[in-house]
A and B are shown apart, each in its own frame.
Chain A
Amino acid sequence: MNESLETDALSQVGEVGLVEPKDFVSEEPFTFEDGSTIPGLTLRYETYGRLNAAGDNAIFVCHALSGDHHAAGIHSLRDRKTGWWNNIIGPGKALDTTRYFVVCSNCLGGCQGSTGPMSIDPRTGRPYGMRFPQVTIRDMVRADKRLVDHLGIRKLHAVVGGSMGGMRVLQFGIEYPDLIERMIPMATTARESAQAIAFNVVGREAIMQDPKWCGGDYAEGEGPNVGLAVARMMAHITYLSDESMARKFGRRKRVKDDTEQFEVESYLLYQGQSFINRFDANTYIYITRALDHFDLAGTYGSLESAFAPVKARTLCVAFTSDWLFPPKQNREFVLALLRAGKSASYAELEMDLGHDSFLVDAPALYDLVRDFLAN
């Protein structure tokens, strides 16, 4: 690594700072893959940086299952937590907001402001609940395309995302080959393994077996909190690794309210509790189903035929300790892209933080992404 280049980049690193979410409202009816139609849709989104006159410096960031549109910066000066991918988005960072116009939306079917099961169905005046159409990864991408057009973006310099975000990245490249110049999927898969589906099944069961679920018709704040928390706690284990849990918690215990708890126990309980304050149980059901049914080979006959229309160049990054969407599954679709005659690179980072490795501070990842975006 060139040292002077590195210090140069470091000296220019800044923060996105205060950001404000916006709502894009499309009044055009939207038809889902399952054939059902809703009269219109809203996508909540944030942008960082400026779109250039040619409209070709935009990067679309795709969030994962429990993520949202708030990818970087803070909403108020009292915010202690920044957006979920603040370490990679900002002035001088890998997704450099002085060069790129970075966009992140809450996906269709989400619960952070975009149209989803919590939204009011204008035809009945009641929340959709489980009457919401079964959203797919492709539906999410097709909805996002409306936002991309609305923002005046002519070319996406890149689409970037990990986990479910990586699935959306791949679908973007297939669906809109002329729009997408680069794809950066991370820690993802072209279809989940039985094991990954199994974890989602148990999560959904935990929610639906909670008596407060009521078939999805619960009042806001009075939903299946126990089920949702359990689903989140279990899923959270799949995002970590044995090594990272051993290091972070080991067998250490702590006393809370006169009761002795394992540290890992109180951590997971906290994760579960904080999740129910920000996430909707029906959305959890819908989005995990979207994940489970995502199957590029199954949908298009083979991965090669799925990728046939792709024009983008791809950089896929996988993480050695990711056992949810392990390197092998990432390699599988990269090899298929190559067999389809596309330009696709694959890099594997040795990190022991499991599936969530793509979210943590990783300078090697930043350099890779920065270099790929520059070429």
Chain B
Amino acid sequence: MAASSSKLREKRTVEMRVIGGWVDPGSRVLDLGCGRGVLLEYLVKRKGVQGIGVDRDFSKIAACVHRGLTVYQGDLEEFLRSFPDGFFDRVICSRTLEELADPSAVIGEALRVGRCVTVGFVNHGFWKNRLAILLHGRRPRNEVYTTPWWKTRPGNPVSIVDFEAFCRENRFRIHRRVWLKGDWESTCRIFPNLLAGYAVYELTREQQ
């Protein structure tokens, strides 16, 4: 358990480096589904961003207040609707995607209020995840998915191919993307849907 939690921490660090690398210092950043605020705190401290996190859960909000972050407890869509076009420099959606009830609406709104949107998600097409189903006929359990399905919030697993189809369908422009191998450390260049464990995308509005 301790080993897997430290592994998860390493993975989070990489995730923060990748996502953080795209963030302009001092910019206005919105973190949708900010959780306990680990990423947001990193961005505030390292990048000096003016950051706001949104989450539904009171205990997560309390953890963020403890870290000295600005956070809002509530519904993501309702929050997004309350802001004018282009209010944020960047909207981040890190490992939130698969829990969204209406991903098109949320990402669409995020692209309206933000000049660009970062989406980071676990690739469920990754070979180990496929193997878990193929060999054991079970939902993958690993350092990212630590709990059995009945202790996990309802999720909507997505693969890299799924996500790119989603972007095409909704006319979200993929500005850049990074695929990371199973260790979330080294970059994956070929067969990402099979070999990448984690993917980070930067979306912009389709050019008029």
Q: Which residue numbers of A lie inside 8 Å of B, CB to CB?
A: 313, 315, 331, 334-335, 338-339, 343-350, 364, 367-368, 371-372, 375
Are B58 and A315 interface neighbours, CB within 8 A? no
Cα–Cα, bound, A364→B62 (Å): 8
Cα–Cα, bound, A250→B61 (Å): 34
Known contacts being A346-B73, A348-B73, A348-B74, is A339 close to B84, with CB within 8 Å?
Answer: yes
Q: Which of A334, A338, A344, A367 contacts B62 (CB 8 A)?
A: A367
Cα–Cα, bound, A189→B58 (Å): 21
Using a Cβ cutoff of 8 Å, how many contacts connect chains A and B?
57
Are A347 and B62 interface neighbours, CB within 8 A? yes
B153 within 8 Å of A (CB atoms): no
Cα–Cα, bound, A167→B67 (Å): 27
B27 within 8 Å of A (CB atoms): no
Cα–Cα, bound, A313→B79 (Å): 19
Cα–Cα, bound, A345→B68 (Å): 10
Q: Which of B58, B70, B79 contacts A344 (CB 8 A)?
A: B70
Q: Which of chain A's residues have a CB closer than 8 A to the CB of B66?
A: 367, 371
> Could you write out 11 A-B pairs with CB less than 8 Å apart?
A338-B82, A338-B83, A339-B82, A344-B72, A345-B61, A345-B64, A345-B65, A345-B69, A368-B62, A371-B65, A371-B66
Taking CB as reference atom, which chain A residue is nearest B72? Answer: A346
Q: How many residues of B contact A (CB 8 A)?
A: 21
Cα–Cα, bound, A347→B72 (Å): 6
Q: Which of chain A's residues have a CB closer than 8 A to the CB of B70?
A: 313, 343-345
What distance in Å separates the Cβ of A305 from its nearest Cβ neighbour in chain B? 15
B52 within 8 Å of A (CB atoms): yes
Known contacts being A331-B74, A371-B66, A375-B68, is A347 close to B84, with CB within 8 Å?
Answer: no
- What 1/0 flags go to B71-101 for Cβ under 8 Å of A? 1111000010011100100000000000000
Q: Which of chain A's residues have a CB closer than 8 A to the CB of B87?
A: 339
Cα–Cα, bound, A170→B84 (Å): 23
Taking CB as reference atom, which chain B residue is nearest A2? Answer: B66
| New A-B contacts (9) at CB < 8 Å, excluding given A338-B52, A347-B73, A367-B66 | A335-B83, A338-B83, A343-B70, A344-B72, A346-B61, A346-B72, A364-B58, A368-B62, A372-B65
Are A339 and B62 interface neighbours, CB within 8 A? no
Cα–Cα, bound, A345→B34 (Å): 13
Taking CB as reference atom, which chain B residue is nearest A367? Answer: B62
